[in-house]
Structure 1
Amino acid sequence: MEKRDAFVEQLLKHSDAGRLHSQDAVLAPPGASPRLRVKDPDALLTLPEFIREAIPEPVQIKMQMEDPTALLTLPEFVKEPIPKGLDPSPPPASPRRKNSLKSVRSRSMSAPPLAWLLSSSSRSSSPTTSSPTESKKPKASRMRRVGSSVAVMPTLQTNLEVTYVAEYHESLQHVLVFLNVTGVMPGAVLDAEVVPAAQVPANTEDGNGWLVLRCGLSTSPYLRLPARVEPGKKEVQASGGHFQVKLSVLSANGTGPSNFVHSTLMDASRLSVMRPTGYVCASCSLPLVHASQVRDYRDLPSEHWAELVDAWMCHSDQKLHEHVQKHSTQGFWPTEGQALVGGSYLLFEQSVVSAHNLCTIDSNDEDKHVDTWVRVRCICGSIVGRRREHQLVGGVPRMVYRLAKYAIRPLSPSHEAPRIPLSAFVAEDMNELVHAHATYRFVILDEEEERPRLLMWLFKPSMRMSYTTPTEYVLPKSASIHAAKVLFKILGPSAAYSDLQIVLNKYPSFPQAEHLYYPREICRRLAGALKESNSAYPEGMRTMTDLDVGWLQRV
């Protein structure tokens, strides 16, 4: 034995002298895979090796706990175990069904198997046995990922998308609501309920009731109503592709159009209280009028007051007052330090006007009809009104400026300028002609080219209404307003004044329509507001007598 041990030791010494120890192989445990071999933790990795390197399990668990809402990649999602609450337990199949799987086709043969969605533990285990390899995994690797999209499946409850128009008919004492609801299946039951204003959250200004629609678990937002109605459940009627609700108005209702005054259209009393220090261009804010020199504001009568006076004079021997005779022949003109207020314009004397910020339009571009008023525009290009030379008896000629209220904005240090929509001034001009000539149909023409742009029928001059439009461009998306309901037709850009009579003959009573002139940009803005108001009505309610239905907001 001693000789054998000596011989082996001598062999080891000879073999050790001819090689390096770093070339010795590291023996791995029997049965271990190459991935489990011990690696040098300080060894540098190439980019492909770094990409293939798995995240250490403790680091992965720490990342999951710090950011539970982190998104999963597709490989991570596939490896995620199914939560216990969502793991469907298949019903026990009968032996007959197991033996006759080919005779029953429960799903498409071309569809991939559902087992790829399950984790490796679910695929390799059965209800009674489990894989020994899986059971040896640490608990942290088999835990459910907190906040994972696999574990959270909330019940979705979408709101009903509603566009509507609610019209308050004061003479009939009811509110008609025309509803266009998207997201409702055909034949579904739609419930409506009027909720008192006190029960509506974040409601501090509107004392009228609010309408709520329900269809199953889906509800609509709170819909404003233009008047106070009785609360409670209401009947919804389906009419074609839209819904209608008829609501009775409470007897003590103070929101009717008869309660509205038009002082907010900048009449003489309001301007006297505001005491503006100046008027600026509504487009560029350049100063146009030095109002600090204006001491007196006076309201003008109707544009057609002289016609009304002739109508009142039913006896030939009646004589007019000298003051009335003077103004019927010479008209009303402002004096120095005075401003005259019309329905949609202001008259200023030249001494208070910043003439260097205004310029006249050349006579070559003037209207075809003869008019002693010459159009003027701000140096920014916006048309603001007209001017005309006037000479008082025994005085020197002076220039008088007629500036449109929608083209200028008053400035006051003590009062905020009223926000009045453009449509309110147009409705005021129409309303004045209604009282003078009892006509409700109008042709809107642009001043620059004298082309007809709009046909308009003042269907209901004053009413309360609420609405929600599908889009928001010119009008607020949702509001409760005082408006004039109109029927209109937008004419194409190729329409000429010579073809106007042919166009008017297509629509009843329009050949006797009154003509109103506005700048072309005002006509475009007016057409855009009318078109947007028309979109709030349901599809079947948007036209009447070949005219589109809309409204003009008033104040």
Structure 2
Amino acid sequence: EPEEGSMPMDISITPTLLGVRTPKGCREIQLPAEVRLVPSSCRGLQYVARDGLHLRLQARAEPSPQLTPVFNQCSQAEECYTFYCQSCGEVVIRDRKLLRALPLPSENWGSLVGEWCCHPDPFANKPLHPRENDYFTGDSFFLVNLQSHLGQEPKANTKVICKRCKVMLGESISSETTKFYMTEIIIQPSERSFPIIPRSQFVQSVTAQCLAELSSARSTFRFTIQGQDGKVYILLWILNSDSFVIESLRSPKCVTKFPLLEDTRGADSSSGTSAVKVLYLPCIQSRNEELASLWERDISVHSFTLPSATCLELLLILSRSNASLPLSLRHMNSFQVAFLKM
């Protein structure tokens, strides 16, 4: 970010790094091992006021491994699993044998059956419930049978709260079935220890993978992020689900600090990761109410439900990502731009 016209500058590009040399010194950005630049493709080198230097060039990255469904974790039958609160590590369910992970149909499956059947709906008033050693996966949650595990019938329509940190983990939807949100629970084989993952990193990774899977499976790109209370917090539009983000060790001085979120980058290295590029609009404090109402009535927009507190965390993560971008790249039309890292 030199002052415009203040000094001569030499830009050097090799397949593995990008360097900027001035009379005051040299700065080099090392690229991750899986990324290679094409120096001859460099175009459009220019200085943009308040942004610094911009250039466009081609990069080649090794194909990332195929994403597996977020909660397709129980791969070995007869193995026992433990459920942890992701926020604090408290054990929620210990040594639970899980034999099958079954995907739930889309949320409108009941009405579709009604349209297709020429006789009374055979599934009417028969909600889908998992058996003792099964769990069902939805868009942002999974269902487990806790009746025999707890030794008592949980009350329906009540929140499930972590005993230690008091975070909402899910809710009991019947006397047999409990819903846990994917952003709140970690499932591990019982012989393994609890993995410590920074909260913001976990939330954006799970959310990015869920949204990418939904977008691919249902050919939809617009989502309303809403709390379990039905309130819409974010309007989100997926632009690219195959982005790759590289961050250098130093951030621009103008980046807004978010002390509530962890800084997960190394002190002396560049990091690269797959990411989903999105447009978003916040809907808190009565903002964008009219557009949110239009999106809720649009059948091409898919709703994505999380605990209300997690919706606010996600909005903070998006805001931090937006603030890290150059000023000229933070907005597209009336939307804000952000990256959700996988």
Whether TM exceeds 0.5 here: the answer is yes
SS of 1:421's equivalent?
helix
Q: For residue 183 of structure 2, what is the aligned residue in structure 1?
A: 406
Q: How does 1:42-441 map to 2 (within 5 A)?
A: 181=1, 183-186=2-5, 188-196=7-15, 209-224=16-31, 227-230=35-38, 234=42, 237-241=45-49, 242-250=52-60, 253-255=61-63, 259-263=65-69, 265-270=70-75, 272=76, 275-290=79-94, 292-304=95-107, 306=109, 330=126, 332-351=128-147, 353-354=149-150, 373-379=157-163, 380-389=165-174, 398-412=175-189, 414-415=191-192, 419=197, 421-435=202-216, 437-441=218-222
SS of 2:35's equivalent?
coil
- Structure 1: where are the runs of 5+ without partners? 1-180, 197-208, 320-324, 361-371, 390-397
In structure 2, what is the Cα distance between the partners aligned to 1:233 and 1:217? 28
In structure 1, what is the Cα distance between the partners aligned to 2:278 and 2:162? 32
- TM-score, length of structure 1 as denominator length: 0.49
The Cα shift of 1:294 comes to 1.4
**Contact 2:236–2:278 under 8 Å retained in 1:** yes
In structure 2, what is the Cα distance between the partners aligned to 1:224 and 1:269? 35
**Contact 1:434–1:440 under 8 Å retained in 2:** yes
TM-aligned CA distance change 1:236 to 1:332, over 3 Å: same
In structure 2, what is the Cα distance between the partners aligned to 1:464 and 1:491? 28
**Contact 1:192–1:233 under 8 Å retained in 2:** no
TM-aligned CA distance change 1:304 to 1:447, over 3 Å: closer
- Structure 2: where are the runs of 5+ without partners? none
In structure 2, what is the Cα distance between the partners aligned to 1:493 and 1:274? 49
The Cα shift of 1:438 comes to 3.3
TM-aligned CA distance change 1:518 to 1:307, over 3 Å: same
1:487 to 279, 282, 298: 279
Residue type at the aligned position of 1:426: T
In structure 1, what is the Cα distance between the partners aligned to 2:286 and 2:130? 40
If asked which structure has higher relative contact order (CA below 8 Å, sep 6+), I would say 2
In structure 2, what is the Cα distance between the partners aligned to 1:541 and 1:286? 41
For each residue in 1:394-431, what CA deviation from the matched residue of structure 2 results, as whole angstroms up to 9, or x when unmatched? xxxx5111111221223435546665621233234434
SS of 2:183's equivalent?
helix
TM-aligned CA distance change 1:301 to 1:189, over 3 Å: farther
In structure 2, what is the Cα distance between the partners aligned to 1:486 and 1:268? 27
**Contact 1:195–1:231 under 8 Å retained in 2:** yes
TM-aligned CA distance change 1:504 to 1:405, over 3 Å: closer
SS of 2:38's equivalent?
coil
Q: How does 1:441-520 map to 2 (within 5 A)?
A: 441-448=222-229, 450-468=230-248, 469-470=251-252, 471=257, 473-474=261-262, 476-477=264-265, 479-494=271-286, 500=289, 502-504=290-292, 512=298, 513-520=301-308
In structure 2, what is the Cα distance between the partners aligned to 1:355 and 1:281? 21
Is residue 541 from structure 1 mapped to residue 329 from structure 2 by the alignment?
Answer: yes
In structure 2, what is the Cα distance between the partners aligned to 1:432 and 1:248? 27
- TM-score, length of structure 2 as denominator length: 0.75
**Contact 2:169–2:185 under 8 Å retained in 1:** yes
The Cα shift of 1:300 comes to 1.2
The Cα shift of 1:332 comes to 3.9
In structure 2, what is the Cα distance between the partners aligned to 1:466 and 1:268? 28
**Contact 2:139–2:214 under 8 Å retained in 1:** no
TM-aligned CA distance change 1:377 to 1:269, over 3 Å: closer
TM-aligned CA distance change 1:302 to 1:194, over 3 Å: farther
**Contact 2:144–2:177 under 8 Å retained in 1:** yes
How many residue pairs get aligned? The number is 319
For each residue in 1:229-266, what CA deviation from the matched residue of structure 2 results, as whole angstroms up to 9, or x when unmatched? 2358956611522322222245xx5335xx43225x23
TM-aligned CA distance change 1:425 to 1:329, over 3 Å: farther
In structure 2, what is the Cα distance between the partners aligned to 1:483 and 1:189? 35
Residue type at the aligned position of 2:5: P
TM-aligned CA distance change 1:245 to 1:307, over 3 Å: farther
TM-aligned CA distance change 1:222 to 1:232, over 3 Å: farther
Which structure has greater strand proportion? 2
**Contact 1:236–1:244 under 8 Å retained in 2:** yes
The Cα shift of 1:457 comes to 1.2
Structure of greater Rg = 1
In structure 2, what is the Cα distance between the partners aligned to 1:210 and 1:353? 55
Which structure has greater helix proportion? 1
| RMSD of aligned Cα (Å) | 4.0
SS of 1:526's equivalent?
helix
SS of 1:486's equivalent?
strand
